[in-house]
Amino acid sequence: MHITREQRLGATSQVIRSLPSLLIEIALQEDLGAGDWTTDSLIPPEHTTQCAIIAQAEGVLCGVAVAQQVFWHLDPEIRFTDCLSDGAPLVSGTVVMRLEGNTRAILKGERTALNFLQHLSGIATLTKQFVDAVAGTGAQIVDTRKTTPGLRLLEKYAVRVGGGRNHRVGLYDGILIKDNHLTALNGDIREAVRRARQNAHHLLAIEVECTTLTQVEQAIEAGADGVLLDNMPIAMLRDAVRRAKGRVRFIEASGGVNLQTVRAIAETGVDYISVGAITHSAPILPMHLEF
């Protein structure tokens, strides 16, 4: 059965909705501490208000369910209307959602909710820019493990919202033999692949990071499922793809990837391009809450 992108995002959104409340509690606690002296001093407990979260720049929305959870954690009676869905295109002035409820709760949750929304929307927005830059080449943009501690699942979800794909979630769901692993084995790629194949279960793909054409040939001959071509000049990258195509299941490129270089990298024929910047360096998409 074919599963559409919308269905995949819907399923992932359910995962986000079920994230442990501990994440929300930690985020709120670091802001509220012993209490919000300003709000509690000025606003009566029973005061209610209507307000809206509004985008201040063009981009891709992500994190609606997380923002809602922040406010509901403070007051489960807060109501939301006119909520856009994750993946919705934004321009400056777009209303992301409208809120109605206890003023104290809304003010206390405002910054935390906006922090999540802005950060995740920034990742989705930057990811889409990379995806658009390689459109038509067949290459796919994937993320890395260069994520904010504690926020990996959210950040990887944002990558998917932006049209990218997820690389390994963690060390447990794929084998990637990198330079330091090889250094520890005196550079023996064949032995590294043999040990990985012997000790890992059959569903784990084995990928070898290569920085030279010699390593590419060694990885292929050792029986690697894929090669990661790291920091290769375009000419070398093209040669490596020519050598590996049809001899491994997938070819990935990484290193030196930005919006100016990604198209040329994609046109060498690689299957995947991993971009750490989409999670570790994405600027926020600015938004504000307006009464």
Catalytic residue numbers, as ranges: 111, 146, 178, 209, 230
Taking the C-alpha atoms of residue 144 and residue 167, their distance in angstroms, rounded to an integer, is 6
Residues 186-225 as b/e (b if ≥16 CB within 10 A, e otherwise) read: eeebeebbeebbeeeeeeebbbbbbbeeebbbbbbebebb
β-sheet bridge partners, residue 208: 177, 227
Beta-carbon contacts of residue 3 (< 8 Å; ≥ 6 apart): none
Distance of CA 119 to CAs 108, 151, 201, Å? 19, 10, 36
Taking the C-alpha atoms of residue 107 and residue 181, their distance in angstroms, rounded to an integer, is 49
Taking the C-alpha atoms of residue 213 and residue 229, their distance in angstroms, rounded to an integer, is 9
Taking the C-alpha atoms of residue 233 and residue 236, their distance in angstroms, rounded to an integer, is 5
